[in-house]
């Protein structure tokens, strides 16, 4: 019995592709010859290579964030404090930079992520602050372009630098 050749990028047998189901929020696999789709990869798949591919080329990500709004951001209102925002963008960037530094100074990964969640609850201006900044799993096209770009560029476990969106300034932690 001869071994099937594998796609060097995806680890799938040649003639198979991976796609994403928005309704089920997960990957599925299509045999291009038969046009049949399956939830599980074919048996011959190099699973480690497939996992690497999906981490580097995600269809969806799970992210948490901390948002600091400023008076020029869209809807300058804090969900956390129920107050109108009067801070300048420069001050928002400065504050978020200090918060990020506090997080990144922690060497232990579990403690670092706990600090991120604590700051999200206490300081983030987003309604997700009640959920420790958790935005859940989202696919491409679900978030503002600048936010999506950063979220999808991160690898699982990475925390972004500060960046801007129409909503304000953020740092993002890609959970998965």
Distance in angstroms (rounded) separating the CA atoms of residues 165 and 86:
17
**Same domain (yes/no): 48, 101:** no
**Same domain (yes/no): 121, 64:** yes
pTM: 0.81
Residue 149 included in any domain: yes
pLDDT band at residue 141 using 50, 70 and 90 as cut-offs: confident
Residue 83 included in any domain: yes
**Same domain (yes/no): 51, 77:** no
* pLDDT for position 48: 95
pLDDT band at residue 1 using 50, 70 and 90 as cut-offs: very low
Which pair of tokens denotes residue 11? 């680890």
Active site residues: 65, 126, 144, 167, 170
From edge to edge, which strands make up the β-sheet containing 16-21?
16-21, 26-31, 37-38
**Same domain (yes/no): 22, 71:** no
**Same domain (yes/no): 85, 163:** yes
**Same domain (yes/no): 151, 70:** yes
**Same domain (yes/no): 109, 34:** no
For 132, other C-beta atoms within 10 Å of its C-beta total 17
Residue 144 included in any domain: yes
Closest CA to 130 of 117, 112, 113: 117
Buried b (16+ CB within 10 A) or exposed e, 17-54: ebeeeeeeeebbbbeeeeeeeeeebeeebbeebbeebb
Angle between helices 89-104 and 109-123 (to 10 degrees): 150
**Same domain (yes/no): 44, 108:** no
Number of domains in the chain: 2
Distance in angstroms (rounded) separating the CA atoms of residues 124 and 120:
5
Q: Backbone dihedral region of 35: left (phi > 0), alpha (psi from -120 to 50 degrees) or beta?
A: left
Give per-residue pLDDT as tens, 146-156: 999 999 999 88
Which pair of tokens denotes residue 9? 């990028």
Domain that holds residue 81: 60-174
**Same domain (yes/no): 109, 45:** no
**Same domain (yes/no): 118, 140:** yes
**Same domain (yes/no): 24, 74:** no
Residue 128 included in any domain: yes
**Same domain (yes/no): 164, 110:** yes
Residue 4 included in any domain: no
* pLDDT for position 55: 84
Residue 50 included in any domain: yes
Handedness of CA 30, 34, 36, 38 (dihedral sign): negative
């Amino acid at each position: 019995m001869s071994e099937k050749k594998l796609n060097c990028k995806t680890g799938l047998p040649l003639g198979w592709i991976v796609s994403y189901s928005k309704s089920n929020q997960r990957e599925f696999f299509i045999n291009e010859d038969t046009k049949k789709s399956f939830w599980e990869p074919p048996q011959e798949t190099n699973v480690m290579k497939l996992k690497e591919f999906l981490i580097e080329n995600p269809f969806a990500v799970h992210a948490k964030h901390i948002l600091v709004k400023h008076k020029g951001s869209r809807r300058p209102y804090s969900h956390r404090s129920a107050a109108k925002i009067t801070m300048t963008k420069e001050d928002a960037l400065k504050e978020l930079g200090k918060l990020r530094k506090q997080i990144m100074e922690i060497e232990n990964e579990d403690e670092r992520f706990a600090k991120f969640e604590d700051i999200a609850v206490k300081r983030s201006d987003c309604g997700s602050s009640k959920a420790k900044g958790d935005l859940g799993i989202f696919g491409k096209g679900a978030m503002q372009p600048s936010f999506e770009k950063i979220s999808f560029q991160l690898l699982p476990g990475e925390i972004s630098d500060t960046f801007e969106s129409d909503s304000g300034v953020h740092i993002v932690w890609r959970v998965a």
